[in-house]
Amino acid sequence: MDKLEQDFLRGLQTVLGQPNPFVPLHEPEFMGNEWELVKNCLDSTFVSSVGKYVDRFEVMLAEYTGAKYAVAVVNGTAALHIALLLAGVRPGDEVLIPTLSFVATANAVSHCGAIPHFIDSEFKTLGIDPHALDDYLKQCSLSGSEGLTNRFTGRRIAAVVPMHTYGHPVDMASLLDVANRYHLPVVEDTAESLGSRYQGQHTGTFGQLGTLSFNGNKVITTGGGGAILTNDAELARQAKHLTTTAKQPHRWEFFHDVVAWNYRLPNLNAALGCAQMERLSDFLGRKRLLAQQYQEVFRDIEGIGFVVEPANSQSNYWLNTLQLRQPSLEMRDRLLTAANDAGYQCRPTWTLLHKLPMYVDCPHAPLPVAEHLEASLINVPSSAKLAGGGR
């Protein structure tokens, strides 16, 4: 074991204490009203897509994020699927997304019958680089009566999807400037950034629509679950309609006016979400404390550093991330092996999406920064309960 591996493990132990026997990457925490609200939901027998907790959860999300409307759905992928459809994405279109993202971002595009078009990231945010995007679009796109098209494939470029990686906000001012000049709808993938803000405004509220995820490893969880955010009343109405099988309201008649989806969040899950939302500020406060502890401990370790929130932003630090000073897949994997062998669950960033077998033939920009990041990022344990080194 070389010096960097030793320093890496020593740093993890300083922040997290001794594993007993294993420190997970990110655990949910249920120490509030979760049992009470879930039991109340069970007692009511309204456990499916109708019930007071779905409505309450949507109100809580809208109030917290500042969005005018929130529509709760079964997971983040479903949320992004419907948001892209509402933004006008159609079969055969291309959608600009970061190659450094979880596979759900690309899958949601594919569920629309569209084609992911992969874009590079920037070092300071880990998300889409607006300036690289602008330079790339000058070379590969044409503006015409059908909107923006890819000059090489002839397909329409229908939208851009910034994803706020590990909770760190994208440079939305620059991204929106590029999107507006090219008349591209913006759909934010906010799956990882509940509680993150850019210039004081919550992520997911800058574009036409934003989407959230409440998977078991997120800042708050509903077990599964997601939500669509928007400030547009008509888009919110359509989102609710399309995620509820497009059933027309009636006392007894079953009439559905378009092909739609059964994507609504069950009331039982929403009850859990309401209790989790009550504790969101506490979760975020402890996660920031944990991030500060990592930053302090790894500040002076040669060869590796801690990824901090970008300027003009407040990150939720969903997953704390270390970065090798020099990218090396071999060294990255050695550190991952050492950490997991020692009882600390650490993981690399995702395999870049353009490398996955189902997406290798999709169009992509030059991706030097994303490839650098893939070979240098390591996620370390990030549960709120770990702040202070305790479990």
Q: How far apart are CA 62 and CA 85, in angstroms?
A: 21
Is 114:95 a contact under the CB 8 Å cutoff?
yes
How confident is the model at residue 146, as a pLDDT?
81
* pLDDT tens digits, 308-351: 999 999 999 999 999 999 999 999 999 999 999 999 999 999 99
| Residue 143 pLDDT | 92
Which CATH class for the 34-278 domain?
alpha beta
Q: Where are the domains of the chain?
A: 3-29+280-389, 34-278
Please determine, for residue 389, whether its predicted confidence score (pLDDT) is greater than 60.
no
Pairing of strands 141-144, 147-150: antiparallel
Distance in angstroms (rounded) separating the CA atoms of residues 199 and 191: 19
pLDDT tens per residue, range 102-123: 999 999 999 999 999 999 999 9
Strands 94-98 and 157-160, sheet pairing = parallel
Determine the pLDDT at residue 391.
45
For residue 390, is pLDDT > 80?
A: no
Q: What angle do CA 9, 15, 21 make, to 5 degrees?
A: 70
The CATH code belonging to domain 3-29+280-389 is: 3.90.1150.10
pLDDT at 253 over 60: yes
Angle at 236 between CA 231 and CA 240, to 5 degrees: 155
Q: How confident is the model at residue 14 (pLDDT cuts 50, 70, 90)?
A: very high
Q: Residue 264's pLDDT band (boundaries 50, 70, 90)?
A: very high
> How wide is the angle at C-alpha 72 spanned by C-alphas 68 and 73, nearest 5°?
140
Helical packing angle, 280-298 and 267-278, nearest 10°: 60
Q: What is the pLDDT of residue 144?
A: 86
What does the pLDDT look like over 52-84, one tens digit per residue? 999 999 999 999 999 999 999 999 999 999 999
Summarised one tens digit per residue, pLDDT across range 115-167 is 999 999 999 999 999 999 999 999 999 998 889 999 999 999 999 999 999 99
- pTM of the predicted protein model: 0.96
Got the DSSP string for 256-306? Answer: B-S---B-BPPHHHHHHHHHHHHTHHHHHHHHHHHHHHHHHHHTT-TTEEE
DSSP state of 215: B
Write down the pLDDT at residue 145.
83
Q: How far apart are CA 155 and CA 355, in angstroms?
A: 22
Cβ(306)–Cβ(322) below 8 Å: yes
CA 307 to chain centre: 17
Arithmetic mean of pLDDT over the chain = 97
CA Rg value for the chain: 21
Cβ(287)–Cβ(66) below 8 Å: no
State percent of the chain over pLDDT 70: 99
- Whether 9 has a pLDDT exceeding 60, the answer reads yes
Integer Cα distance of 315 and 147 in angstroms: 34
Check whether 1 has a pLDDT greater than 90. no
Could you tell me the pLDDT band of residue 49, with boundaries at 50, 70 and 90?
A: confident
Tens digit of each residue's pLDDT (9 = 90 or more) over 193-220:
999 999 999 999 999 999 999 999 999 9
